[in-house]
A and B are shown apart, each in its own frame.
Chain A
């Protein structure tokens, strides 16, 4: 049972969803506890500020260097993967990506696909497309398995089931997994998942995975994980299909060690993940295991729009560690589901508008206090607060010709714009300003007691009865 597909209008109902979480003390506690834990773990991995800073600078340089050569590197990656026997497919949209993957499944009459953790597969809603085509798509990462069993969506890109307590998971397993008694012992719960999923690894026709880094010079797909399900999905079934965004490419193998170190230390505070799995070809003659076919699907889905602009291109530096959400005061309070997008938190706010257009995401960039924590912890120095400001500008400025972004001006409001223009006029003219403040201080009784969103949590704004100017005059 999969969650209902997101209908990609994240801006609609955002306030209501956020409020529901803020009003739920259990969810608040789950997120607060988990984020505190992850922040402490990360800090423990970077005891030396100089090392951290220089490694972040190196990470930023590596990502920017590779993005600078992106078209060339994609072609080189394709050449080298093809030479290694890995089949490369390109998809501009989620629909195209789903059609490619389901086409591979249908060619061999696949019934079951086991999935390693892949946010890009969430982005294209692969599970729904597979279900509609009569192909089972089973999540095998423990957190993803739990949210799929519950008919939900991941609430965090690294820890998908972070919003659930062990008691909820215990009840879920008891109700949904045949023959399982209620237990809230975490080890026992993991062993239940292991047992169920091992049978599925045996049975599966297709293994699906994401990609953390694709190395152009060697034609290699790299996967980072702790559980071993990623290795299962990429080794046990006869066919392995990997899917990735076009930006996750590095030119050289030498670029991988620093990024890997930044990724695992920033994400979960581990000096390295349990497994780092580097795949360069399907099973070769004489080898006794591994898939006979390996495919890579390269997905655009709006990334090329971000790429077209020098500032917005920095969005694509992301290595998906999740540190920005772990440190975000908004994410910690409203959790991952409230955003209504595949990618929540600060990274979600800056990447989703390219995938979904600003029509659907115009309010996302406003769900930020611009405290700057996300930019400060980003391992590849994405200036997230600057990008949030830029996206606000793109959303709320008057629509203009040749917009660089889909949905530019979607949040534009003529009345608000008029008020700001009037304000600017008044502030530029001393005479008008004096008149306005005089009127404001005398006519404050005219202001309504309900002043929109402001008064939902605050007392109404009322100008003081005397202006500063008046008070100074009295003292003189």
Chain B
């Protein structure tokens, strides 16, 4: 008998104690408000700023200028972008003439791991959506915008459309039907990397980005 069979046999020999199915939907319906976009934007900002992210309201007309400003302020002249995405291509068109070099993630990581770790000061990705309750960005990395883009560069800049704000994580998974098709890696990001492992003193930039900058796109601002 394999370990698998032995473990399952022991569990199956235990008393059967079926329990009623929990009603998660009812709990959220009675305990979490459904807010307007403006309210969600305010809540999202409050939470993610509390977690030390910078949020800049932008519009489709101003985000590239803000992106440049954010980089210039930090004296960063190189940005990793996702070629083939609308925002990546826009950055590739606009930024190099203004003195900011744009590199692309155009080959498997094995071919340029060292460069990614040692010579990539900042990256730009989009967020798929976000969660107001906790100030959380949702990213579904893919072939165009791979996983390490939001992890290795010390400064991570995220473009978020405020129309894509959900009240809760639960609402996001239900509305988007996540259970029917999750990607290789789905990520919730709620601030820059941090730790309180030394004497419960909070320090930012533990292993991931030291700074998280959100360009919050909305037309009402």
Residues of A within 8 A of B (CB): 30, 33-34, 37-38, 51, 54-55, 58, 61-62, 64-65, 67-71, 74-75, 90-92, 96, 140-143, 146, 159-162, 164-166, 169, 186-187, 189-191, 193-194, 197-198, 201-202, 217-218, 220, 226-229, 231-232, 235-236, 246, 252-258, 260-261, 268, 271-284, 286-290, 298, 300, 304, 307-310, 313
Contact = CB atoms under 8 A, between A and B. Distances in A.
Among A140, A142, A309, find the residue whose CB has the most chain B CB atoms closer than 10 A: A142
B52 to A, nearest CB: 10
Interface string B183-219: 1111111111111111111011111110000000000
Contacts of B189: 274-275
Contact of A304 (B10, B47, B197): B10
Contacts of B188: 272, 275-276, 278
A146 B198 contact: yes
Nearest to A230: B207
Given A220-B182, A236-B148, A289 B15 contact: no
A37 B201 CA distance: 10
Contacts of B195: 142-143, 190, 226-227
Given A186-B199, A198-B117, A272-B136, A310 B184 contact: no
A292 to B, nearest CB: 10
Interface stretch (B21-29, B33-41, B58-66, B120-128): B21-29
B184 A279 contact: yes
A131 to B, nearest CB: 23
Interface of B: 2-4, 6-8, 10-22, 24-25, 27-28, 30-31, 47, 51, 105, 107-109, 113-114, 117, 133-136, 142-143, 146-148, 151, 168-170, 173-174, 178-179, 182-201, 203-209
B184 A65 contact: no
Among B134, B169, B190, B199, find the residue whose CB has the most chain A CB atoms closer than 10 A: B199
B15 A253 contact: no
Given A165-B199, A290-B184, 13 more contacts: A65-B19, A96-B3, A159-B200, A186-B199, A190-B203, A194-B206, A201-B207, A232-B208, A272-B169, A273-B190, A283-B184, A290-B147, A308-B10
A272 B209 CA distance: 17
Nearest to B203: A190
A271 to B, nearest CB: 5
A58 B24 contact: yes
Contacts of A256: 169, 173
Closest 9 CB pairs of A and B: A228-B208, A143-B197, A227-B206, A276-B188, A61-B22, A228-B207, A272-B134, A90-B4, A228-B193
Among A191, A275, A277, A288, find the residue whose CB has the most chain B CB atoms closer than 10 A: A288
Contact of B207 (A74, A198, A253, A261): A198
A228 B14 contact: no
B8 A142 contact: no
Contacts of B17: 67-68, 310, 313
Contact of A37 (B135, B200, B205): B200
Given A159-B196, A288-B105, A288-B109, A253 B7 contact: no
A43 to B, nearest CB: 15
A37 B199 CA distance: 10
Contacts of B174: 254
A227 B207 contact: yes
Nearest to A71: B11
A252 B105 CA distance: 34
Given A253-B173, A253-B179, A273-B190, A232 B207 contact: yes
Nearest to A169: B198
A363 B28 CA distance: 43
Nearest to A61: B22
Contact of B198 (A74, A186, A220, A286): A186
Given A255-B22, A275-B188, A90 B31 contact: no
Contacts of A226: 193-196, 206
A257 B146 contact: no
Contacts of A231: 147, 151, 187, 207-208
A309 to B, nearest CB: 8
Given A140-B207, A289-B146, A74 B11 contact: yes
B219 to A, nearest CB: 28
17 contacts: A67-B17, A67-B19, A71-B11, A74-B8, A92-B7, A159-B196, A187-B204, A220-B182, A229-B206, A229-B207, A253-B182, A258-B24, A271-B133, A278-B185, A280-B186, A304-B11, A313-B14
A287 B30 CA distance: 41
A463 B113 CA distance: 78
Given A159-B197, A190-B195, A286 B143 contact: yes
A276 B187 contact: yes
A30 B192 CA distance: 27
Contacts of A260: 169
A228 B151 contact: yes
Contact of A141 (B142, B143, B197): B197
Contacts of A166: 198-199, 201
A169 B203 CA distance: 15
Contacts of B31: 51, 54-55
Nearest to A264: B134
A61 B20 contact: yes
Contacts of A232: 151, 207-208
B199 A227 contact: no
Contact of A281 (B184, B192, B197): B184
B23 to A, nearest CB: 8
Nearest to B50: A271
A51 B203 CA distance: 31
Contacts of A228: 151, 193, 206-209
Contacts of B203: 186-187, 189-190
A288 B11 contact: no
